[in-house]
Structure 1
Amino acid sequence: MPASTSARSRPHPLAVAARLVMLALVAVLTLLATADPAQLWWVALLAAAGVPALLAPQHRLLGPLSRLAEAVLLGLAASQVAAVATLGGTTPGVGASAVLPYLAVPVTVTALRRRFVEGGVLVGVTALILLVSGAFTVVDGQRQLVQPGYLAVCAQWLILAGLGLATGCALQKLVRVRAESAPQPYAEATRLLTQLRTVARQLPGATLDPGGISEHLLEELRTVARADRAAVLSASGGGRLVVLAQVGAERVDWETTLDADSAIADAWASQQPQTAARTQARSHAGGDVSALIVPLVAGVRTVGLVVLEADAGQAYPAPVVAGVTALTGPAALRLEAALLFDEVRSLATNEERQRLAREIHDGVAQELVMVGYGIDNALATVHDDTEETAESLRALRHEVTRVITELRLSLFELRSEVDRHGGLAAAIAEYARTVGASGGLRVHLSLDESTARLPAATEAELLRIAQEAVTNARKHAGAANLWVTCEVDPPYAQIEVSDDGHGIGDQRAEGHYGLAIMAERAERIRGRLEIRPRQPSGTTVAVVVGSSPRRDNVRGSAAAAEGQETRG
């Protein structure tokens, strides 16, 4: 017989203890109710009836038959003890209460073994025996009829047993449903990530770009509704919104605070379209304006808002609103998928950067420091007559120090992130100052950042492009000055890094790999990367995301003025 089967066939110590305790309790209560030790023979019969079920709990026949015998004996014992107690001057309910607590033993066993039908049969058999035996019990030659008190007590114990059985059944079903419907966290995560990987491989890259999806949605909406100004906004954390895309002939500083008194905040909270007779842009002059704000709801979650404004009254009647919502419904799901994909990719990238920083710090960096200490010890023991050896060691020590400095700057770059409260300009400025100080560069900063924020993925890529440009200027340009310009007006942003060094043509070959990486990053956020010579010397690296209506208007005005001068 296998060890596991042998172990299951042996009685459990807790089961033995529970039966002994319950039998002792019933014996004491019987003596108190009848004052007749002869009635304890019912307790002995109950103990004997339960032995097979105790010794062979897994047996298909012995267990159920043993518990059925317990139920039959329990009904007979309860009625007999109740009759004896009545003759002794005690109410029959007290006599029945002395024996019926033992009903919990067979019923609990069936509930634990998930044999709820058997438990119900035991309760029914016990009820039947109690009723029949109570009507025909004979004590001292006299037949004892059923009394109301006896029936009431029996009914109470039977109801308690039935409730206990039902509760056990409900708990077992709940546990089973939870076990079946709630897979292990790692298994669920694996399943979801596998699905995400499959979807990401099947879809073109543009379909997972929040900015591209938002621009396409605005183009569709302008075919069904008038929109002199329009934007798609999304949540960025901290109770603020970011501008994913916008269209219009003028610069718009949209209301991006969700706790403000605005139709934008109302639409976000209510998940219902809102119309307003005033502009939702803080920079607009006002006047006769109609505004329509439609939430982008995917399931039960608001993922963004569409804001449409027209310089006319009553521009968005009910049919127009219906046409707009017909387009925003499907777009909400696409936008949510793109935002989730961006978030997963950003989290994975940040975690990998932190992991690399830890490994470099704990591995190569520490080993190089130890090499430097070894060179210092060797220099301390070199005699004056070996000046050539000493000079070689000093040159080696200088190179090791340079490599350690480069590693520390790389660690700083890996750990640099755009703070949620500081913004992109602050992160770029901090990196430029730190790297410039290590390379002996004078850093000139020009920062112009709106209170609105770019999407987190866009900010992260712009920071990495700026870091690469600053690093190239320090390592390869041989410059004395570094100019860093950061202009952020969502969804528009422009970063420029200029130096007065040798120029791009004189840089070493390894610098070109960094330029390729910057181009890839700019393409990922639909940006434009430009590398041009700076006059009179040096290089300018510029990346532009989105378009600036303000700049376009200035350029257009300048071109018009130039045309007038030419004609004049």
Structure 2
Amino acid sequence: MPASTSALPRPHPLAAAARVVMLALVAVLTLFATRDVAQLWWIALLAVAGLPALLAPTHHRLGPLSRVAEVVVLGLAASQVASVATIGAQNGGLGASAVLPYLAVPVTVTALRRRFREGAALLAVAAVTLLVAGALTEVDGRRQLAQVGYLAVCAQWLILAALGLYAASTLHRVMQARGDGKPQPYAEATRLLTQLRTVARQLPGATLDPGGISEHLLEELRAVAPAGRAAVLSASGGGRLVVLAQSGVDRVDWETTLDADSAIADAWASQQPQTAARSQARSHAGKDVSALIVPLVAGVRTVGLVVLEADAAHAYPPDVVSRVTALTSPAALRLEAALLFDEVRSLATNEERQRLAREIHDGVAQELVMVGYGIDNALATVHDDAEETAESLRTLRQEVTRVITELRLSLFELRSEVDRHGGLAAAIAEYARTVGASGGLRVHLSLDESTARLPAATEAELLRIAQEAVTNARKHAGAANLWVTCEVDPPYAQIEVSDDGHGMGDQRTDGHYGLAIMAERAERIRGRLEIRPRQPSGTTVAVVVGSSPRRDTVRGSAAAEGE
């Protein structure tokens, strides 16, 4: 039966060599500890107990039973050899330390075979056997378990074996994550996203909001350090920073360029706190100024900066810097988590919008175009005496054309994004011009945008709010003019859309649904949405984020009100 013979498991040469070497080692140590050749019979019994596991390592019953037998014999041998080797009460662990190194053999075998639960079970069996054998063995009238040295040595070897098993388990998980040609990045991404979903459900909404975290950090810092002006900045791409939050009596035009010669750029590059005797604003007329810039470092990555300024010399001695860094260190991790959450949500949202745009374009839009062509063909074949039928077809054709136009505008809205180089004002202006032209509206634009940028998530939500307001004005207001005002001075921004239509009273249900969506978007970025009548006619929709440079109330659009 050659086939069955070749199928029998064979001992691995390295495994056999390791067992022989370890048995020889514990035999030598036992002789050294006891000076008694008779104690070597425990070593022989240990070899017999481990023989089945060596010859049939993959057998689902024989292998585990043999390893259990090994640790049981090992526990009994350790107790017996310890009792023989004991001289007085001070050397109770000498014999146990001679035999227990063999514990590494069965535990290592389970780790190599990735049977970590079996390894843990073997450690538990070994611990119980050592305790029971020590309690039953007497030395000079005392129980072996009462020997302090015996307990210490047993605990030491059990802990070392457990640590080795844990290290092997951790290494296995790391290697499994890296994979061998398998799609492990997707499995790792699934695991991380699942954890993120769990965290997002458990934490309050503001906890994953970069702006809310930044404002809370500034409040904490102003309690421990003088700061007439303060801000939290974060990277936005293109070598620039965005202002997540700021505080102070006066608004500050912070330096947001990372390649400038400034303490802000130095702190970002060095990941070390920087102090300066001049303001970090691009325009500041103060005389005596002290500035402290502390990088927010999560791991090895700089996720943001905290800038504190006081109108006094030497306002940030080392003890103040220490108090500030004690608060910024834990805040860096919270801010990084919030920024990553925002980025993942933004990527997922944009991808879904693009997918919907493709499906609408390739599906419903194309089918409606074909319906329109069919109506055109039907009109061409209608006889002159069927004027009523022809009129119905022409009406139907106009309605199909209107629906196609609406779909094209919806596609444009879905695909519209805030360009990194163009900015929020440019994106809103382009959308207003396109929609105004399709709806026969005269569009009046008032754009005031600084070179600094808002966070990408805030810009995206403001663009969607402006799009919804413009769409509502075109579809429901019956207006002739549309006024769009965009003022961006990070972290402040105000968007206003006004029309001269018939106002809110006659809007349809879907228009009110659009207003609810705008309110939800404004709340998501901690903005304030206001919808009010425009005089002498029409409606104004305004959204404000942050504190106004002049006042905190929503300002009316001067251009709109003056028309």
- Contact (CA 8 Å) 1:530, 1:543: kept in 2 or not? yes
Runs (4+) off by over 6 Å: 175-178
For 2:204, the aligned partner's letter is P
For 2:401, the aligned partner's letter is T
SS at the partner of 2:258? Answer: coil
For 1:239, the aligned partner's letter is G
Within a 5 Å distance, the mapping from 1:397-408 to structure 2 comes to: 397-408=397-408
Q: Shift of residue 179 of structure 1? A: 3.9
Separation in structure 2 between the aligned mates of residue 341 and residue 388 of structure 1, nearest angstrom: 59
Q: Shift of residue 185 of structure 1? A: 1.2
For 2:332, the aligned partner's letter is A
Q: Shift of residue 548 of structure 1? A: 2.1
Mapped pair 1:543 → 2:539: no
Q: Shift of residue 554 of structure 1? A: 13
- Contact (CA 8 Å) 1:244, 1:491: kept in 2 or not? yes
- Residue 427 of structure 1 corresponds to which residue in structure 2? 427
Q: Shift of residue 60 of structure 1? A: 3.0
Separation in structure 2 between the aligned mates of residue 395 and residue 468 of structure 1, nearest angstrom: 28
- Residue 176 of structure 2 corresponds to which residue in structure 1? 180
Aligned residues: 400
> Residues 208 and 553 (structure 1 numbering): CA distance in 2 closer, same or farther, change over 3 Å?
closer
- Residue 91 of structure 2 corresponds to which residue in structure 1? none
For 2:481, the aligned partner's letter is N
Q: Shift of residue 250 of structure 1? A: 1.0
Larger Rg: 1
- Residue 458 of structure 1 corresponds to which residue in structure 2? 458
SS at the partner of 1:251? Answer: coil
Separation in structure 2 between the aligned mates of residue 355 and residue 338 of structure 1, nearest angstrom: 26
Mapped pair 1:278 → 2:263: no
| 1:486-538, Cα deviation, whole Å (9 max, x unpaired) | 00000000000000111111212220000000000000000000000111111
For 1:535, the aligned partner's letter is Q
For 2:469, the aligned partner's letter is A
Separation in structure 2 between the aligned mates of residue 528 and residue 432 of structure 1, nearest angstrom: 22
Within a 5 Å distance, the mapping from 1:330-369 to structure 2 comes to: 330-369=330-369
SS at the partner of 1:471? Answer: helix
- Contact (CA 8 Å) 1:228, 1:309: kept in 2 or not? yes
> Residues 266 and 458 (structure 1 numbering): CA distance in 2 closer, same or farther, change over 3 Å?
same
- Contact (CA 8 Å) 2:177, 2:188: kept in 1 or not? no
| 1:318-337, Cα deviation, whole Å (9 max, x unpaired) | 11111111111111111111
SS at the partner of 1:504? Answer: coil
Separation in structure 1 between the aligned mates of residue 260 and residue 9 of structure 2, nearest angstrom: 72
Separation in structure 2 between the aligned mates of residue 189 and residue 537 of structure 1, nearest angstrom: 53
- Residue 303 of structure 1 corresponds to which residue in structure 2? 303
Separation in structure 2 between the aligned mates of residue 403 and residue 177 of structure 1, nearest angstrom: 55
Identity %: 90
- Contact (CA 8 Å) 1:478, 1:502: kept in 2 or not? yes
> Residues 310 and 194 (structure 1 numbering): CA distance in 2 closer, same or farther, change over 3 Å?
same
The CA RMSD over aligned residues, in Å, is 2.6
- Contact (CA 8 Å) 2:297, 2:332: kept in 1 or not? yes
- Residue 201 of structure 1 corresponds to which residue in structure 2? 201
- Contact (CA 8 Å) 2:239, 2:257: kept in 1 or not? yes
Within a 5 Å distance, the mapping from 1:153-232 to structure 2 comes to: 179-183=175-179, 184-232=184-232
Separation in structure 2 between the aligned mates of residue 435 and residue 480 of structure 1, nearest angstrom: 13
SS at the partner of 2:454? Answer: coil
- Residue 154 of structure 2 corresponds to which residue in structure 1? none
Q: Shift of residue 299 of structure 1? A: 1.1
- Residue 468 of structure 1 corresponds to which residue in structure 2? 468
| 1:68-96, Cα deviation, whole Å (9 max, x unpaired) | xxxxxxxxxxxxxxxxxxxxxxxxxxxxx
- Residue 446 of structure 2 corresponds to which residue in structure 1? 446
For 2:462, the aligned partner's letter is L
Mapped pair 1:384 → 2:334: no
SS at the partner of 1:498? Answer: strand
- Contact (CA 8 Å) 2:542, 2:554: kept in 1 or not? no
Separation in structure 1 between the aligned mates of residue 7 and residue 510 of structure 2, nearest angstrom: 77
- Residue 531 of structure 2 corresponds to which residue in structure 1? 531
Separation in structure 2 between the aligned mates of residue 303 and residue 479 of structure 1, nearest angstrom: 46
Separation in structure 2 between the aligned mates of residue 177 and residue 412 of structure 1, nearest angstrom: 46
- Residue 249 of structure 1 corresponds to which residue in structure 2? 249
SS at the partner of 2:419? Answer: coil
Separation in structure 2 between the aligned mates of residue 554 and residue 399 of structure 1, nearest angstrom: 39
Structure 1's unaligned 5+ residue stretches are: 10-54, 65-172, 556-568
Q: Shift of residue 391 of structure 1? A: 0.0
TM-score by length of 1: 0.67
- Residue 503 of structure 2 corresponds to which residue in structure 1? 503
- Contact (CA 8 Å) 2:293, 2:306: kept in 1 or not? yes
Separation in structure 1 between the aligned mates of residue 530 and residue 552 of structure 2, nearest angstrom: 18
| 1:423-482, Cα deviation, whole Å (9 max, x unpaired) | 000000000000000001110000000100000000000000000000000000011110
Separation in structure 1 between the aligned mates of residue 552 and residue 311 of structure 2, nearest angstrom: 21
Mapped pair 1:60 → 2:56: no
Which is worse superposed, 502-511 or 252-261? 502-511
For 1:505, the aligned partner's letter is G
- Contact (CA 8 Å) 1:454, 1:491: kept in 2 or not? yes
- Residue 490 of structure 1 corresponds to which residue in structure 2? 490
SS at the partner of 1:285? Answer: coil
SS at the partner of 1:396? Answer: helix
- Residue 372 of structure 1 corresponds to which residue in structure 2? 372
For 1:302, the aligned partner's letter is T
Separation in structure 1 between the aligned mates of residue 553 and residue 228 of structure 2, nearest angstrom: 15
For 1:382, the aligned partner's letter is V
Separation in structure 2 between the aligned mates of residue 286 and residue 312 of structure 1, nearest angstrom: 9
TM-score by length of 2: 0.68
> Residues 178 and 330 (structure 1 numbering): CA distance in 2 closer, same or farther, change over 3 Å?
closer
Q: Shift of residue 338 of structure 1? A: 0.7
| 1:289-318, Cα deviation, whole Å (9 max, x unpaired) | 000000011111111000000011000001
SS at the partner of 1:549? Answer: coil
- Contact (CA 8 Å) 1:250, 1:550: kept in 2 or not? no
Which is worse superposed, 336-345 or 545-554? 545-554
For 1:285, the aligned partner's letter is A
SS at the partner of 1:365? Answer: helix
| 1:394-425, Cα deviation, whole Å (9 max, x unpaired) | 00000000000000000000000000111000
Separation in structure 2 between the aligned mates of residue 396 and residue 509 of structure 1, nearest angstrom: 24
Separation in structure 1 between the aligned mates of residue 307 and residue 497 of structure 2, nearest angstrom: 34
SS at the partner of 2:255? Answer: coil
Q: Shift of residue 551 of structure 1? A: 3.9
- Contact (CA 8 Å) 1:251, 1:548: kept in 2 or not? no
- Contact (CA 8 Å) 1:278, 1:289: kept in 2 or not? yes
- Contact (CA 8 Å) 1:500, 1:537: kept in 2 or not? yes
| 1:140-188, Cα deviation, whole Å (9 max, x unpaired) | xxxxxxxxxxxxxxxxxxxxxxxxxxxxxxxxx9x98974352511111
For 1:263, the aligned partner's letter is A
Separation in structure 2 between the aligned mates of residue 389 and residue 491 of structure 1, nearest angstrom: 60
Separation in structure 1 between the aligned mates of residue 518 and residue 248 of structure 2, nearest angstrom: 29
Separation in structure 1 between the aligned mates of residue 9 and residue 294 of structure 2, nearest angstrom: 67
- Residue 313 of structure 1 corresponds to which residue in structure 2? 313
| 1:366-398, Cα deviation, whole Å (9 max, x unpaired) | 110000000000000000000000000000000
